[in-house]
Amino acid sequence: MKYKDYYAVMGVPRTATEAEIKTAHRKLARKFHPDLNKDANAESRFKEVGEAYQVLRDPEKRAAFDALGTGLKDGDEIRPRPDVSDGFEYHGAGGAQDTDDFFSDLFGARQRHAPHSQSFDWRGEDHHARVSVSLEDTYNGAQRTFTLQMPSVDDHGRVTYQTRTLDVSIPKGILDGQRLRLAGQGGAGSGNAPAGDLYLEVTLEEHERYRVDGRDVTLDLPVAPWEAALGAEVVVPTPSGQVTMTVPAGSAAGRRLRLRGRGIPGNPAGDLYVVLGIVLPRADTEAKKAAYNALREAFEFDPRANFYG
């Protein structure tokens, strides 16, 4: 089925008031009236404007039309969602014959089933927002307060934004991109229908120390040359607390050590990877320079022995 944008036909925004829609219709109906406009397309445009007005002037029909969503253009192929009739009941004067097949196919059948009833029940719209959480929150869980700008429709049909403050429980082990569902915290329902839900998409804040890949976490850990060469027990900071790790003797810079199960909690939990970086002490005194010279003489080590092939 091809979408028809009634707002574009009327030349008004989706936030237009009833008065603005009526004014636009009066202007366009006069412009394209076949008795006043002899253009070949005037009659079809006159009928198109009338069709759009029949829908947008009726609060119930307009709400049903708006529920199709935004971002659609005239002629776009659309397939109504499978639950298009769930939570929606439209009965009233004026049946499907008032509009073309586009609108009738979506809602006309329900109009014909109960022509004498006057009720409108429409589940509230689901709202979506993004919230940022820290890596520590994903490890331990947390109670956080978020301030969001949420859309709301006033009595004149205009979309406004209201500031809402929500206390949200961040579950332990939640990942970047996952969603939290807050039942009944979305848009208000019409008639006896319930409110929609609010979905919060979690964005993990960048951390100055850790990198995250799924449930795995990576940390760069500086070690001294003798710790890498001789081996050592070192303290490693993790988002859930400090742990002691063994650096094997003979470790080179860039070696990757795994702390199993120390990543983001889950079933199974991720791992924490520690990447070794060797930090050289500065030779800023004569004694330290002498120590480096003694080291060079003791090892007779050429780091580029196999570099040139």
Q: What sign does the dihedral 29-34-40-43 (CA atoms) show?
A: positive
267 pLDDT tier (thresholds 50, 70, 90): very high
Residue 120 amino acid letter = F
The pTM assigned to this predicted structure is 0.59
SS3 (DSSP) at 249: coil
CA distance 305 to 309: 8
Is residue 285 pLDDT above 60, yes or no? yes
Question: What percentage of the chain has pLDDT greater than the value 70?
Answer: 78
* Beta pairing class for 127-133 and 198-204: parallel
Cα 192 to Cα 48, 119, 156, 204, 246, distances in angstroms: 33, 9, 21, 38, 64
The pLDDT value given to residue 41 = 87
Reported as half-sphere exposure (CB side, CA atoms, 13 A), residue 32 has a value of 18
The pLDDT value given to residue 29 = 86
What residues pair up with 278 in beta bridges, in sequence order?
Answer: 223
The pLDDT value given to residue 158 = 64
Question: What percentage of the chain has pLDDT greater than the value 90?
Answer: 44
The pLDDT value given to residue 153 = 62
CA distance 65 to 157: 13
CA distance 67 to 161: 18
The pLDDT value given to residue 35 = 78
Q: What is the mean pLDDT of residues 119-135?
A: 79
Is residue 111 pLDDT above 70, yes or no? no
Tell me 77's DSSP state: B
Q: What is the mean pLDDT of residues 198-205?
A: 92
Burial 68-87 (b: 16+ CB within 10 A, else e): eeeeeeeeeeeeeeeeeeeb
Q: What is the mean pLDDT of residues 8-19?
A: 89
116 pLDDT tier (thresholds 50, 70, 90): very low
Beta strands in the chain (DSSP E): 88-90, 120-122, 127-133, 142-153, 159-170, 179-182, 198-204, 210-213, 216-223, 232-238, 241-247, 256-259, 272-278
The domains of the chain, with CATH numbers, are 6-122 (1.10.287.110), 127-204 (2.60.260.20), 210-299 (2.60.260.20)
The pLDDT value given to residue 161 = 73
The pLDDT value given to residue 98 = 43
The pLDDT value given to residue 69 = 65
Question: Tell me: the pLDDT tens digits for 148-159?
Answer: 877 666 666 566
Is residue 225 pLDDT above 90, yes or no? yes
The pLDDT value given to residue 156 = 61
Average pLDDT, the chain: 82
Question: Tell me: the pLDDT tens digits for 21-40?
Answer: 989 998 998 898 887 888 88
219 pLDDT tier (thresholds 50, 70, 90): very high
